[in-house]
Amino acid sequence: MKNILFIDRDGTIVKEAKAPDYVLDTFEELEFYPEVFRYLGKIARNLNYELVMVTNQDGLGTKTLPTETFWNIHNKIMKAFENEGIVFTKVFIDDSYPEDKKPTRKPGIAMVTEYIDNPKYDLANSFMIGDRLTDIEFAKNLGAKGIFINNDEALGATEINSKREELDQTIALQTTSWKEIYRFLKKQN
For Mg ion, what does the binding mask look like between residues 122 and 141, x meaning CB under 5 A? ---------x----------
Using the minimum distance from each CB to Mg ion, give the nearer residue, 48 or 100.
Answer: 100
Query: Which residue sits closest to Mg ion, CB atoms considered?
Result: 11
For residue 183, which amino acid is it?
A: R
d(CA 96, CA 114): 20
Q: Please name the amino acid found at residue 115.
A: Y
8 in active site: yes
- Using CB under 5 A as the binding rule, whether residue 8 contacts Mg ion is answered as yes
Question: Measured from the CB atom, is 122 or 153 closer to Mg ion?
Answer: 153
Can residue 11 be called a binding residue for Mg ion (CB under 5 A)?
Answer: yes
CB of residue 158 vs Mg ion: minimum separation in angstroms?
Answer: 16
State how far the Cα of 62 lies from the Cα of 77, in Å rounded to an integer.
21
Which of 15/145 has CB closer to Mg ion?
Answer: 15
10 near Mg ion, rule: CB under 5 A: yes
* Cβ pair 58, 98 in contact under 8 A: yes
First and final C-alpha spacing in the chain: 13
> How many Cα atoms occupy the beta-carbon half-sphere of 185 within 13 Å?
30
Residue numbers at the binding site for Mg ion (CB under 5 A): 8, 10-11, 131
- Residues tagged active-site: 8, 10
